Amino acid sequence: MNKIKLTLAATGLNNTDNPGPGIPVIRSIKESGDFDVRVIGLAYETLEPGIYMHDLVDKVYQVPYPSEGSDSLIKRLEFINSVENINVLIPNFDAELYTFIKSSAMLEKMGIHTFLPTLEQLEQRHKVNLPEFGKQYQIDVPQSKPILNHSEILSLHDDFDYPLMVKGKFYDAYIAYNEEQVKMHFNKISAKWGLPIIIQEFVKGTEVNVIALGDGKGNTVGAVPMRKQYITDKGKAWGGITLADENMLALTHRIIKATKWRGGMELELIKTTKNELYVIEINPRIPAWVYLAVGAGQNLPAALVKLALGYPVKPFEKYDIGKMFVRYSWDMIVGLNEFESLSTKGEL
Amino acid sequence: MKLKKNIAISESGFVFDPNSGESYSLNPIGAEIIELLKLEKKSDEIQTTMLKKYDTDAASFERYYYDFIHILEQYGLVEKDTSQG
């Protein structure tokens, strides 16, 4: 098969100890062998490591934060597209998805294809709405409640037993054993991610995850379950292993079928000692550990690009069980001129 | 007692449970017993094999054998086989 000529734009180049999925997504697409690809990195900050990985990213443009509104983002993308002629764009941050989904029709007009969930799907699975989601689709979810101020913390013991989880609307989750700890985490998370803060029942068990891709018609294109083997103090997987858990796969297929999920997804689950599965979060994008799925035989980012371009994609039927990933850190030496170029011209 | 389906055992006695993602290392005797369980040998057959091969008595073997089986149960690596009690 001839390689598909592709100009791919991706965000999430922050390959830090709290990694964005951009670099593993790019690596997966490049290694698939299906594309003759030029990669355009879209960066928010000047020290995102992926900016300087020239073997993976051909050109980098700085883009405005989603908080500046979709108009300034679209304007910047229009300029970038006039130079680069982007075919597919993969946003990799939760916080930017709303803006990109809202702008997807406009992007399409510019010739930039995306493969994202709908706004309704995005909202439905939001941490704040997870209890409703569980009820609607008969899925076990921990009891949770959004709170907006300190006074609500005092009455939490009416609905929750300690310990409980304190979570940000996009990122961050901490366990709290008493009211004081809830207050402390409330302040820390709200300063970073805003309100509401989500209080969630603590479910005891092993944290397991599934990466999946839905075709938007109810079909699961691929799904790989994983258990984190090494977790950083930020709760991120630094090592993991693929599992053979039929229940996890069945749950994933059920959620994708019921929601007609479109795009990448990560299910965060707790498996109790009785083998019950609780959905604690549904992330509406490809997770940073995606390269494990690729290593296990399912190149989901490459499949996502094909779906975005309208190519038919055959669902993956298997993956290697017991395949592991171990993450590592690597120091790159960067010339000041490169840093200067991105800082002053917004391009590298 | 039956070893759960899918449990992978290497020649060196490394056990991988694909359902939980856990892995364990066994000493050579443990590995031998697991291999016999994998072949669906019953407890008395395993005992006969081991007593023939090693210089030990039935009481000592039973004590360590059931300790070992209890650990396998705790880790969820075996399931009760109703056919053998």
For residue B80, pLDDT beyond 80 = no
Quote the pLDDT of residue A183.
92
- Where do we find the tokens 């709405």? A129
Contacts with A198 (C-beta within 8 Å, 6 or more apart), sequence order:
A127, A128, A144, A145, A146, A147, A165, A166, A167, A168, A169
Most confident of A191-195, A240-244, B1-5: A240-244
Contact A227 B19 (CB under 8 A): no
Quote the pLDDT of residue A127.
82
Instruction: Provide the token pair at A146.
Output: 């959004």
Q: Which residue of B has its CA nearest to A226?
A: B21
Contact A322 B16 (CB under 8 A): yes
Instruction: Provide the token pair at A38.
Output: 């030029």
For residue A320, pLDDT beyond 60 = yes
Quote the pLDDT of residue B85.
39
Question: How many angstroms away from the CA of B42 is the closest CA of chain A?
Answer: 27
Q: Which residues of chain A have a CB within 8 Å of the CB of B6?
A: 244, 321
Q: How far, in Å, CA of A90 to CA of A285, rounded?
A: 9
Quick check: B58 contacting A, CB < 8 Å?
A: no
Q: Do the Cβ atoms of A239 and A327 come closer than 8 Å?
A: yes
Question: How many angstroms away from the CA of B23 is the closest CA of chain A?
Answer: 10
For residue B84, pLDDT beyond 90 = no
- Where do we find the tokens 């490169």? A338
- pTM of the prediction? 0.87
For residue B82, pLDDT beyond 90 = no
> How many Cβ contacts (< 8 angstroms) between chains A and B?
22
The model's pLDDT over B32-68, given as tens digits with 9 standing for 90+, comes to 999 999 898 999 999 999 999 999 999 999 999 999 9
- Mean pLDDT for A243-267 is 95
Q: Give the number of other Cβ atoms within 10 Å of residue A224's Cβ.
A: 29
**Sign of the CA dihedral running A74, A80, A83, A88:** negative
Quick check: A325 contacting B, CB < 8 Å?
A: no
What ipTM was predicted for this assembly?
Answer: 0.74
Q: Each residue of A114-147: b (16+ CB within 10 Å) or e?
A: bbbbbeebbebbbbeebbebbeebebebbebbbb
* Cα torsion through A22, A24, A26, A30, rounded to 10: 180
Q: Give the number of other Cβ atoms within 10 Å of residue A179's Cβ.
A: 14
**Sign of the CA dihedral running A322, A53, A343, A25:** negative
Q: How far, in Å, CA of A72 to CA of A64, rounded?
A: 7
Q: Which residue of A has its CA nearest to B5?
A: A244
Comparing A234 with A137, which gets the higher pLDDT? A137
- Mean pLDDT for A249-276 is 94
- Where do we find the tokens 């840093």? A339
Pairing relationship of beta strands A88-90 and A4-10 according to DSSP bridges:
parallel
Backbone torsion region of residue A310, taken as left when φ is above 0, otherwise alpha when ψ lies between -120 and 50, otherwise beta: left
DSSP A347: B
A135-149, A245-259, A314-328: least confident range: A135-149
DSSP A138: T
Q: What are residue A61's DSSP bridge partners?
A: A42, A347
- Mean pLDDT for A237-249 is 94
Contacts with A232 (C-beta within 8 Å, 6 or more apart), sequence order:
A17, A238
Q: Which residues of chain A have a CB within 8 Å of the CB of B18?
A: 243-245, 321-322
Quote the pLDDT of residue A236.
87
Pairing relationship of beta strands A262-271 and A206-215 according to DSSP bridges:
antiparallel
Question: How many angstroms away from the CA of B34 is the closest CA of chain A?
Answer: 19
- Where do we find the tokens 């101020």? A149
Quick check: B20 contacting A, CB < 8 Å?
A: yes
Q: How far, in Å, CA of A148 to CA of A154, rounded?
A: 12
Q: Which residues of chain A have a CB within 8 Å of the CB of B19?
A: 243-245
For residue B11, pLDDT beyond 60 = yes
Q: With CA atoms as reference, report the closest residue to A16 among A41, A45, A55, A40.
A: A45
Quick check: A245 contacting B, CB < 8 Å?
A: yes
List phi, psi (to 5°) of B53: -85, -35
- Mean pLDDT for A240-259 is 95
Question: How many angstroms away from the CA of A319 is the closest CA of chain B?
Answer: 12
- Mean pLDDT for A152-159 is 87
**AA letter at A201:** E
Quote the pLDDT of residue A171.
77
**Sign of the CA dihedral running B33, B37, B38, B42:** positive
Quote the pLDDT of residue A222.
98
Q: How far, in Å, CA of A185 to CA of A197, rounded?
A: 9
Contacts with B57 (C-beta within 8 Å, 6 or more apart), sequence order:
B51
Quote the pLDDT of residue B83.
52
Average pLDDT over all residues of chain A = 93
